């Protein structure tokens, strides 16, 4: 059921506080842009990113191995806020910077084995409000996709994804050319050892 797999708190962080976090993260994170090989060709990932985690917790997605950076104060503060407000503990965060509406994220599920069968992922949005789309999907030989459902993720919001959100659903952040401002998205995760 979508209502239990995706919970949106549009006012998780007050605006003035969210403004401060956005400013800090834009300057303190050492953003990087990697390339992925798709059908034999190299493509730049259409956003910047960085991986922060407890010691020795790496992460691999789409064949890209991420070595953890040491926690910085604003990310550690947000991790503690999440623990207090949700009761969930996280040992890592993937930070994404969408510089403007030309940056995007294609359809995918965060279903890497190290996340477990029903991971809890806490996604904090800071900056430009963006569309977040989800769709039901069935993997296997007979892949099928349901219609896309759109959610707006405002500045300071928290989207908590849990249950079957990564097993039975895909999500994407489409391009929106009219958007000129940046958005920082932080997806906090618990990586198994």
Q: What average pLDDT does this structure show over 97-116?
A: 92
> Contacts by 80-88 with C-beta closer than 8 Å and gap 24+?
81/13, 82/122, 82/124, 82/158, 82/188, 85/12, 85/158, 86/122, 86/160, 88/120, 88/122, 88/190
The Cα 177–Cα 103 span in angstroms is 9
Confidence of residue 42 (pLDDT cuts 50, 70, 90): confident
pLDDT value at 66 more than 60: yes
- pTM higher than 0.85 for the full model? yes
For residues 106 and 98, give the distance between their C-alpha atoms in angstroms, rounded to a whole number.
Answer: 13
In the chain, domain spans? 2-31+48-189
For the cut 70, the answer to whether the pLDDT of residue 3 exceeds it is no
pLDDT in tens, 28-37: 999 999 887 7
For residue 181, the Cα-to-chain-centroid distance in whole angstroms is 18
CB contact set of 141 (below 8 Å; sequence gap of 6+): none
Res. 40 pLDDT band, cuts 50 70 90: confident
Does the pLDDT at position 1 exceed 50?
Answer: no
**Is the pLDDT at 141 greater than 90, yes or no?**
no
Q: Which residue's structure tokens are 């890592």?
A: 92
Fold entry, domain 2-31+48-189: Jelly Rolls (2.60.120)
Assigned token pair, 76: 């550690």
- In this prediction, residue 134 carries a pLDDT of 94
């Amino acid at each position: 059921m979508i209502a239990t797999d995706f919970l949106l708190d549009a006012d998780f962080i007050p605006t003035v506080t969210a403004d401060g976090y956005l400013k800090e993260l834009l300057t303190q994170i050492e953003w990087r842009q990697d390339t992925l090989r798709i059908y034999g060709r190299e493509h730049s990932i259409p956003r910047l990113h960085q991986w922060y985690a407890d010691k020795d917790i790496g992460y691999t997605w789409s064949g890209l191995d991420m070595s953890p950076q040491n926690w910085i104060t604003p990310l550690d503060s947000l991790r503690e806020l999440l623990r207090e407000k949700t009761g969930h503990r996280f040992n890592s965060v993937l930070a994404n910077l969408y510089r403007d509406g030309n940056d995007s994220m294609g359809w995918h599920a965060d279903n890497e084995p190290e996340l477990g069968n029903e991971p809890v992922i806490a996604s904090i949005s800071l900056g430009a409000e963006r569309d977040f789309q989800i769709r039901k999907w069935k993997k296997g030989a007979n892949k099928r996709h349901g219609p896309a459902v759109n959610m707006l993720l405002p500045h300071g919001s928290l989207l908590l994804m849990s249950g079957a959100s990564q097993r039975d659903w895909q999500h994407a952040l489409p391009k929106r050319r009219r958007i000129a401002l940046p958005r920082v998205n932080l997806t906090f995760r618990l990586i198994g050892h």
